[in-house]
Amino acid sequence: MNYQRFFEEAIDQIHAERRYRVFADLERIAGSFPKAIWRSNGEAQEITVWCSNDYLGMGQHPDVIGAFQNTAGKMGSGAGGTRNISGTNHPLVELELELADLHGKEAALVFTSGFVSNEASISTIARLLPNCLILSDELNHASMIEGVRRSGAEKKIFRHNDVAHLESLLQAAGRERAKLIVFESVYSMDGDIAPIKEIADLAEKYNAMTYIDEVHAVGMYGPRGGGITEREGLADRIDIIEGTLAKAFGTLGGYITGTKSVIDAVRSFAPGFIFTTALPPAIAAAATTSIRHLKTSQAERDAQQRQAARAKEVFASVGLPVMPSETHIVPVLVGDPELCKMATDRLLGVHGIYIQPINYPTVPRGTERLRITPTPFHTDALIDVLKDALVETWDALGIPYNTEGKPAVAKSDRIIPLLVPKSGG
């Protein structure tokens, strides 16, 4: 067997499907977010990032950076081992208390990422429950799907946010069988929100456990940043609330919160928790500082919502096909993978604007899009610059404008010749 050839063919396949990804070489500039330096072909240039999941810019907050630096200075850079072997760093203990309080739960458990928290927790909970049936929303994140797979439990997929479909599956399983409903609060590609109350009602009616991923909501929704479940007063009706420290909180790590017994079981049984080195204390301290700040400060949430609403309005006013979204996510439809990739190449190469193309399999074919995430640091002036760049790109590539709303469609005054990008570098 020619091993190298095997891997080359695997990559060729990705190329053939137009799904091959080239990562932009970026350097974020603390204090100037969302500006970053982009390096390409030996040149460095300043660009604007429009697709960061550092949703509130907390990754550059002086208090968060300060906590990180102080703690690293006092305790060093690494955790020194797994929590079983090397003990639990005190900043992790504080972080877990903070998280349990954030969601009004008895206990919390921190993992090295949100991905790991979902994979380890869902698989462990469903594996411990006898003959568990998992009911999973069809648009759940890959980390949840991995958790479902690894559990070995039977699964049924319900249509996205379709409570009637979910109910029929629950009914068929019956009240007696162990059941775990796994879903998200904010779905990050469309920016829509799950019917959490209706799902909680069904869980109660059919005696199912509930597991919600609030990754795209923690820090950003609810009076203390406890997510959509906090905003809607539903946190106590969901058994397990999962979140990340890496998006709105601006650091790294994932977590679950719930009752003492569930959290203790995951802590005691999940290999993805037990056999991996703990988060460094500096990251834990930075995350705690970020969470505490967002528990009392509404300013970041208000500014983010304002800028997201403004971006939607400005883009729609010139006929750009802004997809419906109830949240801070601003998806703009391209509808073709090739054009989507060309549009983002053009935005970066011509306009110095970085937005990742969102193509299949992240979203269904035909709904390829730009996923734009305005933050409090994306000013009105930056939104206007982006609007002009999008219009120029739409014109240059012949991407369809929105035809239904019939707004006045702006035409770019001039098409800028595309000199860059030189991809494949």
DSSP secondary structure code for residue 322 in this structure: B
Q: What backbone phi and psi angles, to 5 degrees, belong to 323? A: -80, 150
Which residue's C-beta sits nearest to ligand PLP? Answer: 114
Q: For residues 185 and 307, which CB has a smaller minimum distance to ligand PLP in the complex?
A: 185
Q: For residues 118 and 375, which CB has a smaller minimum distance to ligand PLP in the complex?
A: 118
Look up residue 235 and give its two tokens: 């946190």
CB crowding 130-147: b at 16 or more within 10 Å, else e: eebbbbbbebbbebbbbb
Q: Of the listed pieces 112-120, 199-207, 367-375, 414-422, which binds ligand PLP according to CB under 6 A?
A: 112-120
From 35, 155, 205, 247, the catalytic residue = 247
The Cβ of residue 269 has, within 10 Å, a number of other Cβ atoms equal to 15
254 part of the interface to ligand PLP, by CB under 6 A: yes
Q: Of the listed pieces 111-119, 197-205, 319-327, 359-367, which binds ligand PLP according to CB under 6 A?
A: 111-119
| Contact string 341-360 vs ligand PLP (x = CB under 6 A) | --------------------
Q: Say how many residues touch ligand PLP, by CB under 6 A.
A: 14
The Cα 157–Cα 324 span in angstroms is 24
115 part of the interface to ligand PLP, by CB under 6 A: yes
Handedness of CA 271, 281, 296, 32 (dihedral sign): negative
Look up residue 27 and give its two tokens: 């350097």
The Cα 239–Cα 262 span in angstroms is 9
The Cα 280–Cα 272 span in angstroms is 16
Q: For residues 206 and 249, which CB has a smaller minimum distance to ligand PLP in the complex?
A: 249
Handedness of CA 240, 244, 247, 250 (dihedral sign): positive
Look up residue 389 and give its two tokens: 């760049």
Q: For residues 55 and 206, which CB has a smaller minimum distance to ligand PLP in the complex?
A: 55
| Contact string 19-38 vs ligand PLP (x = CB under 6 A) | --------------------
161 part of the interface to ligand PLP, by CB under 6 A: no
118 part of the interface to ligand PLP, by CB under 6 A: yes
CB of 99 to ligand PLP, least distance (A): 13
Q: For residues 56 and 383, which CB has a smaller minimum distance to ligand PLP in the complex?
A: 56
Helix (H) or strand (E) holding 28: strand 25-28
247 tagged catalytic: yes
Helix (H) or strand (E) holding 338: helix 337-351
270 by Cβ neighbours in 10 Å (0-12 / 13-18 / 19+) ranks as buried
Helix (H, G, I), strand (E, B) or coil at 263: helix
Distances (CA, A) of 389 to 259, 311, 325, 412: 49, 13, 22, 9
192 part of the interface to ligand PLP, by CB under 6 A: no
| Contact string 204-223 vs ligand PLP (x = CB under 6 A) | ---------x-xx-------
Nearest to 166 by CA among 132, 186, 137: 137
Contact 263, 76 (CB under 8 A): no
Which of 120, 193, 203, 246 binds ligand PLP (CB under 6 A)? It is 246
The Cα 290–Cα 65 span in angstroms is 10
CB of 87 to ligand PLP, least distance (A): 24
Cα–chain-centroid distance for residue 352?
24
141 part of the interface to ligand PLP, by CB under 6 A: yes
Q: Of the listed pieces 110-118, 302-310, 321-329, 336-344, which binds ligand PLP according to CB under 6 A?
A: 110-118
Q: For residues 182 and 382, which CB has a smaller minimum distance to ligand PLP in the complex?
A: 182
Which of 184, 190, 300, 345 binds ligand PLP (CB under 6 A)? It is 184
Q: For residues 141 and 341, which CB has a smaller minimum distance to ligand PLP in the complex?
A: 141
CB of 191 to ligand PLP, least distance (A): 12
H-helix segments, 48-113: 62-75, 83-86, 90-103
Q: For residues 243 and 349, which CB has a smaller minimum distance to ligand PLP in the complex?
A: 243
DSSP secondary structure code for residue 300 in this structure: H
151 part of the interface to ligand PLP, by CB under 6 A: no
CB of 186 to ligand PLP, least distance (A): 8
Q: Which residues are designated catalytic?
A: 247
Q: Site residues (CB under 6 A) for ligand PLP?
A: 113-115, 118, 141, 143, 184, 188, 213, 215-216, 244, 246, 254
